[in-house]
Structure 1
Amino acid sequence: MLLSVEGVTKIFGRNVAVDKATFAVERPAMIGIIGRSGAGKSTFLRMMNRMTDASAGRLVFDGRDVLALKGAEKRAWQSQCAMIFQQFNLVPRLDVVSNVLHGTLNRHSTLATLFNLFPRSDVHRAIDILDRLGIAEQAPKRAEALSGGQQQRVAIARALMQDPHVILADEPIASLDPMNAQIVMDALRRIHEEDGRTVIANLHTLDTARRYCDRVIGMRDGRIVFDGTPEQLTTGAARDIYGADAGFSESATSTSIEALETGADADAAYASALMGD
């Protein structure tokens, strides 16, 4: 068993943000987690990466309970479990290649990091990763000069510099236009297929989950209420996940270019009210 999530729970005061989450992953996969705002998706990823401590439960990856790790072992796990965020979390005034090289910070001294003294081999690897993602020509530019989609690919490159076992992506396309959203999701899918890495992505939209993921987990009020294949994610199942009524429209959650070109404003307003983070 590659990953076993056993009753993982997070309580903030009287609020149960994640309630006994339980599922297992036998082999590397691309998994989408969907649900409306406040469902517990981001909190779960933050617990898995150990940015937030769990209140209860076990999360066993490759035979090791990562929720019990401390000190150097915890930091080593965070290197093996890379995070990608909605807002990119780059250093705007640094050049692109330096931002990517920050994925190796756990392997270098503080002094070397302060003066950007990275080994030549790391610099070459960073540029190779940028080339793989189609943005090698952006390497010398400041991160702030790039488009949102390009910045998110820099964030993915930084994650790959860690050479992680798992990539966690928290709403990686929520702030992107449809064209850049497709480019970013294509990159994540390719990384899973070519590298054999497990990718777990929090997603808002049903069409994205169906198109890119091998498996979809739906969360509602902190609980897992759906766990199945993209084909099993019917409109009825989606209504249950989002707590929606019969007026729920799948086109309201679409990020596809075609759907956006033909979609209705009312659907967009419905989706925004229902799922906006």
Structure 2
Amino acid sequence: MLDIKSLTKAFGRNTAVDAVSFTVDRPAMIGIIGRSGAGKSTLLRMLNRLTDATEGQIVFEGRDVTALKGADKRAWQSDCAMIFQQFNLVPRMDVVSNVLHGTLNRRSTLATMFNLYPEEDIHRAIDILDRLGIAEHAPKRAEALSGGQQQRVAIARAIMQQPKIVLADEPIASLDPMNAQLVMDDLRRIHEEDGRTVIANLHTLDTARRYCDRVIGMLHGRVVFDGTPAQLTTGVARDIYGADGSFSESSTSTDIASLDREYA
């Protein structure tokens, strides 16, 4: 389904992502963890084609995504939706219009300029908001919502694209614990109910363990762990985060999360 082959991104002499390879052969919820500068965000931006790879390939259903240009590239960005840490909504625009922006890649320039949407799309946007429990906020400006609500609007916009893959770059890093749980619950449901692959850069190891089927750990641009949450032991966490000997095997999950936050 999705095959990442020796994907590399260099910025001058600095290699942000270094020959990363992995395969996703069926829909899954995948968490990517690692300290700041590990290359997690750059990897997701390459998958979405927001950033071009220096070397390597992204192959989806037999198609070389790294070679796509123009309309084909934009179509891929619809198929591979991106959710950002800071939501990337239009603050003064109403919620339902923000969700409808998920259709921009398949609308004409004229329709976009005049903010014209088919009635069918409007109904679908409201249905998606209802599914996420925030339909009552549809007429409000996005800036009037809490951070957790805004992130769920961003998720609704991603679903509006009808993507095959959903990428989430630190989707809960700026949220309180209650809203973080709601957002992660939503992402998990999108995977389970829609059969979509969700790949998320995550802020804490506990979150990766709780929500993901598979966890990929990165250090200095390389994949240093690829396994199940059960295999994500304290020793493995030490390897991923480059912790020193003071991080013992008896460390609690809270200690591990504290280490993660230090490097987030």
Q: TM-score, normalised by structure 2?
A: 0.96
Gaps of 5+ in 2: none
Q: Distance in 1 between matches of 2:153 and 2:69?
A: 29
* 1:54-65 alignment runs, 5 A limit: 54-65=53-64
Question: Aligned runs of 1:38-49 on 2, under 5 Å?
Answer: 38-49=37-48
Q: Is 1:275 aligned with 2:251?
A: no
Other structure's SS at 1:153 match: helix
Within the alignment, does 1:68 sit opposite 2:67 as a pair?
yes
Shift of 1:129: 0.1
Letter in 1 for 2:184: M
CA RMSD of aligned residues (A): 1.1
**Cα distance in 2 for residues equivalent to 1:207 and 1:16:** 28
Local SS of the residue matching 1:156: helix
Give the CA deviation at 1:114: 2.2
1:271 CA drift (Å): 4.7
- Counterpart CA distance in 2 for 1:171 and 1:5 is 21
* 1:49/1:83 contact within 8 Å kept: yes
1:251 pairs with 2:254:
yes
Q: Distance between the aligned counterparts of 1:220 and 1:197, measured in 2?
A: 27
Equivalent AA in structure 2 for residue 44 of structure 1: L
Q: What CA distance in whole angstroms lies between the structure 2 residues aligned with 1:183 and 1:221?
A: 31
- The answer to whether the 8 Å contact 1:8/1:59 transfers is yes
Deviation at 1:253?
4.8
What one-letter code is carried by the residue in structure 2 that aligns with 1:125? R
Aligned-residue offset at 1:109? 1.6
Between Structure 1 and Structure 2, how many residues are aligned? 260
Distance 1:154 1:42 in 2: 21
- CA gap of 1:34–1:271, structure 2 versus 1, over 3 A, is closer
**What percent identity do the matched residue pairs reach?**
78
Q: After superposition, what is the alpha-carbon deviation per residue over 1:197-234, rounded to whole angstroms, capped at 9, x for unaligned?
A: 00000012111000000000000000000000000000
Q: Deviations over 1:93-133 (max 9, x none)?
A: 00000000000011212221222210100000000000000
Letter in 2 for 1:275: Y
Once the two structures are superposed, the pairs formed by residues 145-164 of structure 1 within 5 Å of their partners are: 145-164=144-163
Q: Give runs of ≥4 in structure 1 deviating > 4 Å.
A: none
Are the counterparts in 2 of residues 204 and 253 from structure 1 also a CA contact under 8 Å?
no
Q: 2-side partners of 1:102 and 1:253: how far apart?
A: 38
Q: Deviations over 1:19-73 (max 9, x none)?
A: 0001111101000000000000000000000000000011111111101111111
2:118 matched to which residue of 1? 119
CA distance in 1 between counterparts of 2:202 and 2:256 reads 10
Task: Say which SS state the counterpart of residue 198 (structure 2) adopts.
Answer: strand
1:128 equivalent to 2:116? Answer: no
Counterpart of 1:8 in 2: which secondary structure?
A: strand
In structure 2, the residue matched to 1:230 is: 229
